Structure formats: C-alpha cells, structure tokens
Structure 1
Amino acid sequence: MTWSDYLPAWPLQISPALWLALTLVVAVLLGEAMVRHLRLPRIVGYIGIGVVLGPGGLGFIPQLPVNEWRLVVDLALGILLFELGSKVNLRWLKANPWLAGTSLLEAITTFAVVFSVLVWVDVPSTAAAIVATIAIATSPAIIVRTVTESRAQGQVTDRLLLMTALNTIYAVIFHKLAVAVMHGQAGTSFVHTIFAPLYLLGGSALLAWLFGITFERIHHHLGQHEETFSFILFGMIAFATIMASTLRLSPILVLLAAGLITRYQRKHTRTFPPHFGSAGAVLVVLMFIANGLAADLRGLRDGFLLVLLLIAVRIMAKLLAVLPLATHSGIGWRQAVSLGIALVPMSSVALLLTMDTAIDFPEFAFGLGMVLMSWIVILELIGPVLVQVALRRAGETPEKKT
C-alpha cells in the first residue's frame, strides 16, 4: 500500500445525499431569515432553495430519479393530508349547505375556465380535461403549513381547510376518470378503462376506512399518552402510504379520507403536535425542498404567455366563484375575497398528478406537462405569500386580531 491508498480518490465523487443534507440546513436558515426579516412564510425559502440549487437552477444537485424522492414526498404529504382531514368537520356541510354549493361552484368554475382556455389554444379536449382537473386542486401542503405557522383561526381559515380538502378529492377523482378516458382513446379495452378508476377509488376508500377503525381503537387505549400516540400515528401513516402505493391505490385519497373519517367519528377535534412531531416536520421540509428540486421551468421557454394566462384565469375563477354565495353561507365580501385568494396555491398534489400522467403518457410530459410544471412552480413560490396575506386581511392571524 502507498500513502495515496489512505486518501480519497480525486476528483472527489460527492454523493447527491450530501448536497441534499446541506440543502436542508441552508433551507431552514433561509426560511428563518424569510420570517424574521421579510415576514414571509418559511415555505418560500424551502422551495426557493430547491429551485436555485436543483437541476432547473445552478445544478449543484443533479436530477434525482423519481423513485429516490417520491417516497419522501408521499410520506410528508400523507402527514399533512391526514392532519388536514383531522381538522375538517364534514358535518358542517350538512349544517350549512351553502358551503357545499360554494365548493362545487368554485371547482366547476375553475375546471370550466381552464378547460376553455386550453381548448381555445387548440389543446385536445381530453388532455385539456386532465390539466383542468389538476387545476382544481388547492395545495393542502401549503395551506396546512401556512395556517399552522401563522396560527390562523376563524371563519375564513375553517372554510379554507374544508374547501382545500374537497378540492383535493375532486381533483384526484376526476383526474383518474379523465386519464381513464384518455386510455380508452389510446385503444385500451372498455373493461380496463372502467375497472382502473373503480379499483383505485373503491380500494382507497376501503383502506382509509380500515385506517380509521384501527386509529380509533388505538386512540381509545393510548389517547392519554401523547408522545407514544404520535409515534404510533406517524408509523400508521407511513404504513398506509406505502401500502397504498404497493396496491396501486391513491395515497392522497387514503390519507385525506382517513383523516376525514376519524374527525367525523368524533364530536370534537383532536389536537396533535404540528406534523406529528419533529420527524414529521423534517419530512415536510424535505418535501418542499424536493418540490423545488423537481422544478422544471422549460415550459416557460415556449409557453410563457400560456402559463401566465392559465395562472391569471385560475386565480380569477377561484376568486370570483366564492363571491356569489358568500353572504348566503355566512361570510362578508371582504372575507370571501380573502378566501378566494387563499385557494390559489398549487404544490405537491398537482405535481404528483402531473407526474403520474406523464408516466402513462410520455408525449404529455414533453408537451402540455412542461407548461403545467412551470405553472405549478410559480404558484408554489407565490402561493404561501398569497395565503399569508389573505389570512392577515381576514384578520385571522394573531398580529391582526384586536
């Protein structure tokens, strides 16, 4: 052996994991700087550093295979979806049917406007429908994180959580139906076209129901032991997420429905540590960084005006659709405007649905998918700021309450 055998090979082969670990540290520091000096949400720093250091920016972190970071995103999103579901009381829809009407009107208007614009620019109707269903989704990750961070409470906050949960359900269900139609147009047999969405929706509902039963039984015995209960719940969420992926179900629907079911079975909401403790919080930060790393802005090169147009019409659709029924549902115009603005963000759910579509239809990935990815990245970055401003405008954050 020579002395060189004790030294690392040159040039150094640095693992992407090292860059990811360093990015986590920088992202947290940048997030804190955003809050202290600019009064902006931490999420902007988390996503922004991923965009800057990732393949779409300076390229310090190379393109990571989807299967290397998809599980992190699924787990973190599962935590936030269950957290969202556990805060939403579906009984409110029965007590105030105008809320259900507002939610449906907002989702239908968003779909119709985006679909019409895409058809107007000569996008095939089925592909336009897929994008329009994804556009319905309001980011549960950004909403839950921003509401938690800003400690917002009130009518607008409660409606925002409810409508975000419902928009996620609409987007996933109708996206799967639109994809099934596209498979049918591509020559897939009618039986397989119909069976796929039925299996996904039915299987996801069954897994969510089993999760809810197990959750309640464990909660009955360990409800007084907060730390132990949080650890077990975190493990259950991880198990449900992985099981849903293994069975080719929708982890998004499973975890959101599980949270809604467990909340529906209780008369009062259950308070958990934000993101179920430190481990969950780290996963959530990594998820936002991963979203930034996955950012693909190539769609702006050839479709800049289309991206801006889609962003503008979607914002207007969500804002204007909540106004007609505002007073009937029990809020004023000012609150309704704040709610409409807060419904704008897109993030992980839209990203995952876009990637799933691209896997099934590669031609979508290199065409309309790039436009959609650029659209998502922009609304990831400005979305948290819009939510924060809207909640402050509604007077539901501590610094604005009198």
Structure 2
Amino acid sequence: MATQFGFLPSWPLQASPSLWVAVALIAAVLVGELFAKTGWLPRMTGYVLTGLAAGPGMLAVVGGSTSTEWRVIIELALGILLFELGTRVNLRWLMTNRWLVVSSLLEASLSFATVYLILRYFGTREAIAATAATIAMATSPSVVMRIAAELRAQGQVTERLMLHTALNTIYAAVGVNLMVGVLHHEFRGSLVEAVVYPAYLLCGSVLAGAGFALVFRRLERWLGDHEEVLSFLLLGMIALTVSVSAMLRVPPLLPLLLAGIVVRQIRGRPLVYPPHFGSAGAVLIIVMFVVSGMSIPMDQLARGAAVAAALVCGRVLAKIVGVTAIARPSGASWRQAAALGVALAPMSGVALLLTLDTATLFPEFGASVMSALLGAIVVLELAGPVMTFAALKLAGEHHR
C-alpha cells in the first residue's frame, strides 16, 4: 500500500525555509495595512513589529543572519532609499540659505553631545562613547523616505527633513569611519592603521559614489527618457555597488548617498521615477523592515534598558532644540521647526548596521554599550515612524 501512494508527502510535513519567509511577509503586510487603517499609525510600524515578534529565531530557521544573506538584502534596500534620498538634496538651496547648514550642524552636534555625556555618566570609555554618539547622530533614511512616500508629503518641513536626514547620515558615516581610526589606535596600538584605514574608507566611498553618478548619467543620456528601463538600470547599478563595496570592504551606504547627491547636481533636477524605483524596490523595502526587526538580539536589550531610555529622551530633545533654535533665521516658523525636530527622531537601518559593524571590528565596544544602542534603535524603530508620521500630518504636508 505504501508503494502505491509513494507520491504523497511524508508525515509530519517538512516546511521549507521559503514557507516561513512567505508567512512572515504576509503577516507583515497584513499588520501594516491594519495599522494604516487607523489613520495615525504608519504601515512601517507593522512591518518592524512583525519582525520583532518573529525574532532572531526566525533567521535561524530560514538560514543566514544579518552578517550573511540577510545583510545583503538590508544593504540593497537601504542603498535604494539612500540613493533616492540623495537625489532629493538640493545643494543650491544650502548655498542660498546658509542657516540650513547651521541648523543641521547644531542639531547633529547637540545629539552627539547629549548621547556622549549620557554614556560618559554611565561610565563608558571616551572613545567608545564618542563612537556611539556619532552613530546616534543619524536619522533613519529608510523611515523618512517611506513615511514621506506613504503620506505623499510635500512642503518646507518635508524638504528640510530630507536635507537634515541626508546630512545626518553623512555626518554619522564619515564620523564612524574617523572613529574607527581612533579605536584602532586605542585598542590595537597601530598608528599607521589608525590613519590609513579611515582614509581608505572615505576615499573609497567618495570614488565609488562619484563613479556611480558619472556612469549613470552617461547611460541615462544614451537611453533617453525610458522610465521603466532606467528604474531597472538603477536597481542593477545599486546591487552592483553593494556587491563591489563588499569585495573592497567599504560600507556601501555612504557611496550610494553621495551618488544620489552628485546625480541631482549634474542633472539640475530630481529624478521623477516611481518611489523606490517600482514594485521590485518596494518589496525589498518591506523585506528590509521585517528582517531588521528580526535582526535585533532581544536577549541583549534588558541589560541596557535604563541607558537606552536616557539616550532616546536626550537624543529626541536635542534634535528638537537644535532645529527650533535656528528656526527664524532659517526661514521656518516655530511650528514647522518643532515638527521637523520630532520628525528627525527615527533611528533604524543605518544605525543598526554601523553598530553591528563597529561591535564586530572591536569587541571592546562592550556588551553594555551595544545593548543600550540597540535598545534605543528598537524604541526609535517603533516610535520613530509614528513620530515622523504625526509630525508631517500636523505640519499639514500630507496628501494621502
């Protein structure tokens, strides 16, 4: 009898890893839509919450971790968002209104100083506290871009939010590269590596970003205004940049942001392709939020809960104070400045990758500091999108 029905599956059924990935994605989309129907919660919160609920155990079931296959997905999705963000940055606006630069520098500096002082108060070593504070300057580009796209937001607050987010990402990425040199000198005792390694990372990032922009611009002129073809081309070039950066051991995030900025300046106008370059990019973004939620080691968070709470409160307050202090000179109303300060709260993919990379390079980074940073990232990965969502709606710039 058994041979007659050999075509039937064995019992109990053996689920393939792809089944669990599909279940997680379906759950994330449904939870995201449930949140969206409330009118005051963004879809993204549902995606991240689903990932957190699934936990790191899901990654073990489906195979891989943030340092292998899944990291590529996070970097590729972040690369799409960072390039898109870069194309929204208008450097001519910065030249016309220098107070925007002052506002950005003040907000980032206050964020750095606040986080640094909090960590020093809790006994963290100077170099480690400075590195963590540099990471904390970053506003999540993935959250900002997704919320702006979801709300179809347009206006002064939205444009300033894009600008501040891009600049904060540059400050954090460049700053961490420089701090790597300091950490090399402190923990490895190598002065040569302390100088050469950051220089290699920065030069590699600038060259990769400029090369990407110039090649894309030439291909764009050759192909003409074929939106679909150019979207596919961009996705391919972003994937290529992520892969080449991995081979060269240069983080791909800064090159792709710089590439977007250079493309915008060469073209003189922003790209008008679909958000995230079509449905393929949009799917990658959803996967990134789910996987980033899964990637948080929840077992480490309890150890740094008190410090994380202090970091979250101090960082959010610093960003609000930083932008409101320069509100009038920069041409913004108090309401717009307050909304901008709140909207800058999210901390997600970029901060997560910078934290994990630094901890991998330097185990001396310490479990307590890493737990505090990861705790702050979790809180602001969940609360941050809601804050940005509410801020843009209160500013009256949503058109959903």
Normalization by structure 2: what TM-score? 0.95
Contact residue 303 and residue 368 of structure 2 kept, 8 A: no
| Cα shift at 1:232 | 1.0
- Distance, in Å, in 2 between the alignment partners of 1:301 and 1:255 is 35
Most deviating of 182-191 and 306-315: 182-191
- Distance, in Å, in 2 between the alignment partners of 1:59 and 1:294 is 8
| Cα shift at 1:60 | 9.4
Match of 1:355 in 2: 356
Match of 1:286 in 2: 287
Mapping for residues 1-400 of structure 1, pairs under 5 Å:
3=3, 6-8=7-9, 11-55=12-56, 64-65=64-65, 66-364=67-365, 366-398=367-399
Q: What secondary structure is seen at the aligned counterpart in 1 of 2:56?
A: coil
Q: How many residues align?
A: 398
Per-residue CA deviations over 1:191-229 (Å, capped at 9, x if unaligned) read: 111111101110110111111111111111223211111
Counterpart code for 2:367: F
Contact residue 81 and residue 140 of structure 1 kept, 8 A: yes
Contact residue 59 and residue 294 of structure 2 kept, 8 A: no
Most deviating of 73-82 and 34-43: 34-43
Counterpart code for 1:95: T
| Cα shift at 1:368 | 1.4
| Cα shift at 1:397 | 0.9
- Distance, in Å, in 1 between the alignment partners of 2:6 and 2:191 is 63
- Distance, in Å, in 1 between the alignment partners of 2:15 and 2:279 is 28
- Distance, in Å, in 2 between the alignment partners of 1:45 and 1:301 is 23
Q: What secondary structure is seen at the aligned counterpart in 2 of 1:37?
A: coil
Q: What secondary structure is seen at the aligned counterpart in 2 of 1:326?
A: coil
Q: What secondary structure is seen at the aligned counterpart in 2 of 1:318?
A: helix
Contact residue 87 and residue 263 of structure 2 kept, 8 A: yes
- Distance, in Å, in 1 between the alignment partners of 2:83 and 2:175 is 21
- Distance, in Å, in 1 between the alignment partners of 2:294 and 2:260 is 29
- Distance, in Å, in 1 between the alignment partners of 2:7 and 2:148 is 52
Most deviating of 37-46 and 293-302: 293-302
| Cα shift at 1:237 | 1.0
Per-residue CA deviations over 1:31-51 (Å, capped at 9, x if unaligned) read: 111112354111011111011
- Distance, in Å, in 2 between the alignment partners of 1:209 and 1:343 is 27
Counterpart code for 2:227: E
Contact residue 301 and residue 374 of structure 2 kept, 8 A: no
Counterpart code for 2:162: L
- Distance, in Å, in 2 between the alignment partners of 1:83 and 1:280 is 11
RMSD between aligned alpha carbons? 1.9
- Distance, in Å, in 2 between the alignment partners of 1:300 and 1:22 is 26
Per-residue CA deviations over 1:235-264 (Å, capped at 9, x if unaligned) read: 111111111121111211110000000001
| Cα shift at 1:296 | 2.4
Normalization by structure 1: what TM-score? 0.94
| Cα shift at 1:15 | 3.4
Q: What secondary structure is seen at the aligned counterpart in 2 of 1:367?
A: helix
Per-residue CA deviations over 1:40-83 (Å, capped at 9, x if unaligned) read: 11101111101111237x99957742202000001000000000
Q: Percent identity?
A: 47
Contact residue 297 and residue 370 of structure 1 kept, 8 A: no
Change (3 A) 1:59 1:185: closer
| Cα shift at 1:129 | 0.8
Per-residue CA deviations over 1:321-346 (Å, capped at 9, x if unaligned) read: 11111100000111000000000100
Per-residue CA deviations over 1:154-210 (Å, capped at 9, x if unaligned) read: 111000000100000000111121122111111242111111110111011011111
